[in-house]
Chain A
Amino acid sequence: MEVKTIVDECLELWRDPYPQMARLREEGERLVGVLCSYTPEEVLHAAGLTPVRLMGAMRSLTHADAHLQVYCCSLARTDLDMALAGELDFLEGAVFVQTCDTMMRLSDIWRRNTAFQYHGDLVLPIRMGEEVSLPFLVEEVRRFRRGVEEFTGQEIWDDALVESIHVYNRNRRLADRLYRARASNPTALDGLSAMSCLVAGFWMRREKHNELLHEILEGIEDSGEATGGEKVPLLVSGSVCTMPDLYELLLELGADVIDDDLCCGHRYFDAYVDESAPPDEALAKRMWERVNCPAKHQCIEDRFERLVRQVRDSGAKGVVFYLQSFCEPHLFDIPYLRQRLQDELEVPSLVLESELQSFSRGQLRTRLQAFIETISGV
């Protein structure tokens, strides 16, 4: 298949993944919703379940506000709204990783008000990357695994889990290659296309996504000599990007996303699970070492240091912080991150907040255009 055809299909999935999830169910996949990139998806995969990411939707709320305050993030509100409206009935359940206050409470509300057969919780230590928290996390992964086993009624064998870890590690390696290919040949694959191909994997069996990434990489790597992009290179930082609007607008305005610090992007596939270690411990270790979600404290690499490294390595001329309104963990970090980017790298940044995954498109366009003008001049 042509690279463009694959990319277009992936972009369609990104715009609206829910019909695809329903199709997967019809094809016999047993779907479990995943709200957080810390979910050890390998455990679900090894149990014969198919994890699918719930990244909210652009919609008017009719059910969720009876349960969640309006100052909860739109990700939680729209996901819950769809569940309560019966629009996620193709799921057998969902997994809640207890990262921030909203996700913790959402888990309880979801459990009490929906009728899914399976409900998974994984409690993360507040402080990651410290010796004392690793054994706790290993035990949490084991508890989570037991919960999945109880639900399916079948034991998850270590060798099955190791096999799933291998599939996911391959996915991470391919995603990393995709990002590298995208950086070295921006005319062959722009930021919108790369992100589309990555997030599409949230809504298909991981083996199939590996095949898809492999096919794209072969297509790009055979596409001839690499040429530099002429667009203003930007880095996007934040949590999830529910809709492709931001990436599309940036392209239209003469900029492109050359790297990201999103939990549905680069942070999702960063770092590998050690395939030679006992699987529970190896899964916990990856989470423990991974670059932190701002809801957690302390990890091996400081968030700002990593952002600096990414900006320097990618050659980004500006950073767009793309956040869900009321996402306190991210928003608390913003003044500090922006100030240091300006003082230490002289890299300007723009903060965009989306409520219910939508923006006033006209205003968003003006702000992005003005931001690009601060970088490239007029």
Chain B
Amino acid sequence: MYYAGIDVGSLTAQAVVINAKGIVAYKSIGVKPHPVQSAKTVVDMLIQEQGINWNEVKFCVSTGYGREQVQAEGLSQDNVSEISCHGMGASWLVPDVRTVIDIGGQDAKVIRVGKGGELVDFVMNDKCAAGTGRFLEVQARTLGLSLDELGTVSFSAERTLELSSRCSIFCETEVLHYLQRGHTKADIAAGVNRAMAERVAALVRRVGLEKEVTMSGGVAKNAAVRAELERMLNVRLIKYDTDSQIVGALGAALMARKMGGGS
């Protein structure tokens, strides 16, 4: 008997299938124009590539921005906010976790959870895309680097350049300015990653930091941002044993297991 979670975000979509013991299969894709299309595609790929028999899925929960449309289409039986799902997923992966930092494509969340993974409090970016994955994407594109390179290259920086603007677009202008002045991509990338970490740290301080702390979402894959955050918050960010991008979908699958009577 399987339980599934589908997380359709702004940039990527994931599906996770679990059973009574744990994760059976998962898949992550870039989103399609419509959330239902993304959900169908990621489920189809899970079926085709990993041999999951979807008829054996007893209960499915959708989450992320497309959660209600996915449910309306009959692909899931219920929907839960991605904030609760990220908390639940993180808590299952790291049972002692109390603070979950999740930086997605267009939003940044800091979630406080209780002992059982239940949601206690949260804060979310509410002004603009500064402090989200989109910020890194814009700056990486300007630097001519891939997202992976943006993280790795900054470890060879000789100095970390200051990016003072709060605005992603103005930061792009600052990056261009540094490039024209002949600064190395590594030094600029280090500045970009630090600026990103500063925005996330500010969000963490708003909700209050309680150990243990984990980080999920695409930005968690950027080692330089992680390192900066650990330094700023004076805390170790515990790494997941699995792909940090599937935490929301995993939480949804765990919710599905609970709702479907699988405990």
A and B associate in one complex: yes
For chain B, residues 44 to 63, give those with C-beta under 8 angstroms from any C-beta of chain A: none
With A363-B124, A377-B118, A378-B255: A370-B81 Cβ-Cβ less than 8 Å? yes
Min CB gap B47→A, angstroms: 27
Q: Is the CB of A370 within 8 A of B83?
A: yes
Size category, A interface: 10 to 19
Rounded to whole angstroms, the CA-CA distance of A377 and B82 in the bound complex is 14
Q: Does B84 belong to the interface (CB within 8 Å)?
A: yes
Q: Is the CB of B119 within 8 A of A374?
A: yes
Q: Does B1 belong to the interface (CB within 8 Å)?
A: no
Q: Is the CB of A363 within 8 A of B107?
A: yes
For chain A, residues 232 to 283, give those with C-beta under 8 angstroms from any C-beta of chain B: none
Q: Does A297 belong to the interface (CB within 8 Å)?
A: no
With A366-B82, A366-B83, A369-B81: A374-B124 Cβ-Cβ less than 8 Å? no
Q: Is the CB of B121 within 8 A of A373?
A: no
Rounded to whole angstroms, the CA-CA distance of A367 and B109 in the bound complex is 10
Q: Does A48 belong to the interface (CB within 8 Å)?
A: no
For chain A, residues 339 to 378, give those with C-beta under 8 angstroms from any C-beta of chain B: 348, 352-353, 362-363, 366-367, 369-370, 373-374, 377-378
Residues of A within 8 A of B80 (CB): 369, 373, 378
Q: Does B122 belong to the interface (CB within 8 Å)?
A: yes
With A378-B255, A378-B258: A348-B81 Cβ-Cβ less than 8 Å? no
Q: Does B158 belong to the interface (CB within 8 Å)?
A: no
Min CB gap A24→B, angstroms: 37
Residues of A within 8 A of B121 (CB): 348, 374
Closest B residue, CB atoms, query A371: B122
Residues of B within 8 A of A374 (CB): 84, 118-122
Rounded to whole angstroms, the CA-CA distance of A88 and B107 in the bound complex is 38
Residues of B within 8 A of A363 (CB): 107, 124, 126
Residues of B within 8 A of A369 (CB): 80-81, 83
Q: Is the CB of A373 within 8 A of B65?
A: no
Please, how many residues of chain B have a CB less than 8 angstroms from a CB on the other chain? Answer: 18
Q: Is the CB of A362 within 8 A of B65?
A: yes
Min CB gap A351→B, angstroms: 9
Q: Is the CB of A366 within 8 A of B65?
A: yes
Min CB gap B103→A, angstroms: 15
Closest B residue, CB atoms, query A362: B65
Min CB gap B96→A, angstroms: 20
Q: Is the CB of B118 within 8 A of A366?
A: no
Residues of A within 8 A of B81 (CB): 366, 369-370, 373
Min CB gap B105→A, angstroms: 13
Rounded to whole angstroms, the CA-CA distance of A366 and B122 in the bound complex is 11
Q: Is the CB of A366 within 8 A of B124?
A: yes
For chain A, residues 84 to 106, give those with C-beta under 8 angstroms from any C-beta of chain B: none
Min CB gap A321→B, angstroms: 13
Q: Is the CB of B84 within 8 A of A373?
A: yes
Rounded to whole angstroms, the CA-CA distance of A370 and B65 in the bound complex is 13
Interface centre among B118, B122, B124 (most CB of A within 10 A): B122
Rounded to whole angstroms, the CA-CA distance of A366 and B255 in the bound complex is 17
With A348-B121, A363-B107: A370-B84 Cβ-Cβ less than 8 Å? yes
**10 nearest A-B residue pairs (beta carbon):** A370-B83, A370-B81, A369-B81, A374-B119, A373-B84, A378-B80, A366-B81, A378-B84, A362-B65, A378-B255
A-B contact pairs, 15 of them (CB 8 A): A352-B126, A366-B81, A366-B83, A367-B122, A367-B124, A367-B126, A369-B81, A370-B122, A373-B81, A373-B83, A373-B119, A374-B84, A374-B118, A374-B120, A378-B88
**Given A353-B126, A369-B83, 12 additional A-B pairs, CB 8 A:** A363-B107, A366-B65, A366-B82, A367-B122, A370-B81, A370-B84, A370-B119, A370-B122, A373-B80, A374-B119, A378-B258, A378-B259
